[in-house]
Every structure is written in C-alpha cells, then in structure tokens.
Amino acid sequence: MARLLDGRCVIVTGAGTGLGRAYAHACAAHGANVVVNDVDEQAALAVVEELTATGGHAVAEPGSVGSWSTAARLADTAQRRFGRLDGLVANAGVTHHAAPWEEDESQLRRIVEINVLGVQFCAIHAMRAMLRQGTGGSIVTVVSGSRFGIPGMSAYGATKGAVAAMTAGWALECAPAGIRVNAISPLARTGMAAIDARPDRPALGAPEDVAPAVVALLSDATRDVTGRIFRFDGTRLGLYAPEALSTVADEESRAAAGRAASIARTLARLAGAAVDTE
C-alpha cells in the first residue's frame, strides 16, 4: 500500500471514538504522526495506545475544542513533538434532537461552542502554524446533510451550515499560502448517527470505510483541490456543486404596488405550490 502521509503530522479532533478514531487510525496507517484529541482523556489515551501498538507515532492532547487554549495547545504539541503540522481534521462535534421551540439556551450555546467555535479555534491555530512553517497544509472540516433540513436537527444543521461557509471562505483566503480547506459530509455507523433514527435511512457502513476519503484530502494527491464539499458513505463518493444563483424572473419593470404579489406567484410556481395573492 502506498503511504500517502509519510512524515506528515496531522491533528484529529474528536478522535476518541467513531469517525475520529477511524480517521486517526487511517492517517497513522499512511505514515502520519497523529495528535489525538478528545474531550475524554481516557479515550484519547486508548487510541494513542492502539496506534503505537501497530507501529504508529501518536500523542494524546485531550480537552474541549471549544477552548481557545486547547486549540492552541494542539498546534503547539504538533510542532513541539513532531517538528511540523501538515494537516487538521476538525472532526469534533456534538448533537441532540429537539424541535426548535424546545431548545434552551444551554443546549444552543453548547452546540455552537463546539461545532462552530471549536472548528474555528482549531483551524485558526493550525493556519497560524502552517503559515509560520511556510510549507502549506490541508484542513478538513466535517459537515452534514442536516444543513439542508432534518426534523429535530435544526440547531445541529445550522452549525454545519456555518462550517460549510467557513470552509468556502477559508479556502479562498488560505490559497495563496498553499493551505487547502475542504469538507467531508460522512455517512457511517456511529453513536451520533444513531440519534438520527429515521426509518427510511439506508444501512450505514463502518467508520473505517469512510476514513480513506479524509486521507486523500490530506495528501498531495489532492493538492489542487480546495473549497469543495464531498459526500462519502464508504462506497459512493459525491461532490456538492458550488452555490449558484439563477435568474428566475425579471421583476424590474413591474409596478411597485404589485411586485410582492407577482414575486409570490413566481416563488410558489417554482416550489410547486399554489398561492392566492389576489
């Protein structure tokens, strides 16, 4: 097997279980030195033991990514222990199911702190380390189909929509420095996926089946790929098209008094609905 990450150093957040653990194992198998982060210290240490037992090089750096100091420590540890930082997999996240009117302040603050600020904090410190290094790098964020709407997951979907927006913006800003930023929308059998127990949901594969896509995005094999969002379930690989704006009607010449009604009819027609605006 060709080792795509030989000599590199990669941080994986939320790597104590599930997809994060699978990403850490896959990176180590491809020759990367891995900084294993998880809010559960024992879980992070256990993954490090697993990696070193198979000949890998890894170090645990536990803590919540919602802490600015933890995020800074991750980048510092990578450079101090392994002499460099080449990749970040911003995988850590939390979710819960609730109707929007059932949310409370503590739940909303927690999900935004981890899923949005935690990704920002880790990416900012990784970018700073990569800029100082001057050799570029790759950042992989994690999004979800919930950003398009899943009942009970509006708060989680909002955070993943924010991550998608950050991915696009960072890709543009980091490109001159050779830092690539892409996102993966993974589908796998994990504890978090079990929360979304829709009866029509297809059977999910193991986290290890999804991990090769993350290795590919961290490697030089995708050095010309940035600002993209990929969907992978271990078998089917898809690419979300960049957002595009299409003109659906010319409203400029219409009288102001009737413009809202005209636009309402156009929007309803596009949505396949009927509306009475008379």
- For residue 260, the enclosing domain spans 246-278
CATH number of the domain at 54, please.
3.40.50.720
Q: Does residue 123 share a domain with residue 71?
A: yes
Which pLDDT score, from 0 to 100, does residue 153 have?
92
156 is catalytic: yes
| Confidence band, pLDDT 50/70/90 cuts, at residue 195 | low
Identify the pLDDT of residue 139: 98
Same domain, 135 and 181: yes
Do 227 and 252 have their domain in common? Answer: no
Q: So what's the pLDDT on residue 2?
A: 80
Mean pLDDT: which of 196-205, 225-234, 267-276 is highest? 225-234
Q: Which pLDDT band holds residue 205 (cuts at 50, 70, 90)?
A: confident
**6-46 residue pLDDT tens:** 999 999 999 999 999 999 999 999 999 999 999 999 999 99
Which region among 27-31, 39-43, 87-91, 260-264 has the lowest average model confidence (pLDDT)? Answer: 260-264
Mark whether 194 and 259 lie in a shared domain. no
Q: Is residue 2 part of a domain?
A: no
What share of the chain in percent tops pLDDT 90? 73
What pLDDT, on the 0 to 100 scale, is given for residue 193?
52
Q: What is the pLDDT of residue 257?
A: 60
Per DSSP, the residues of the chain read ---TTTT-EEEETTTTSHHHHHHHHHHHHTT-EEEE--SSHHHHHHHHHHHHHTT-EEEE--S-TTSHHHHHHHHHHHHHHHS---EEEE---------GGG--HHHHHHHHIIIIIHHHHHHHHHHHHHHHHTS-EEEEEE--GGGG--TT-HHHHHHHHHHHHHHHHHHHHHGGGTEEEEEEEE----HHHHH---TTPPPP--HHHHHHHHHHHHSGGGTT--S-EEEESSS-EEEPPPP--------TTS-HHHHHHHHHHHHHHHHT------
Q: What is the model's pLDDT at position 201?
A: 56
User: By C-alpha distance, which of 167, 62, 64, 162 is closest to 110?
Assistant: 64
Residue 203 has pLDDT above 70, yes or no: no
The model carries a pTM of 0.89
70 in a structural domain: yes
pLDDT of 258 higher than 80: no
Same-domain check for residues 203 and 252: no
Q: Is the pLDDT of residue 254 over 70?
A: no
- Considering the domain boundaries, does residue 79 fall inside one? yes
Average pLDDT over residues 44-61: 98
Q: Looking at residue 199, what is its pLDDT?
A: 59
- What local confidence, expressed as pLDDT, does residue 14 receive? 98
* Catalytic residue (choose from 82, 121, 156, 230): 156
| Count of domains observed in the chain | 2
Do 274 and 230 lie in a common domain?
A: no
* Pair (210, 262) in one structural domain: no
CA distance 88 to 101: 35
Query: What confidence tens digit (pLDDT) does each residue in 139-187 have?
Result: 999 999 889 889 999 999 999 999 999 999 999 999 999 999 999 999 8
Residue 190 reports pLDDT greater than 70: no
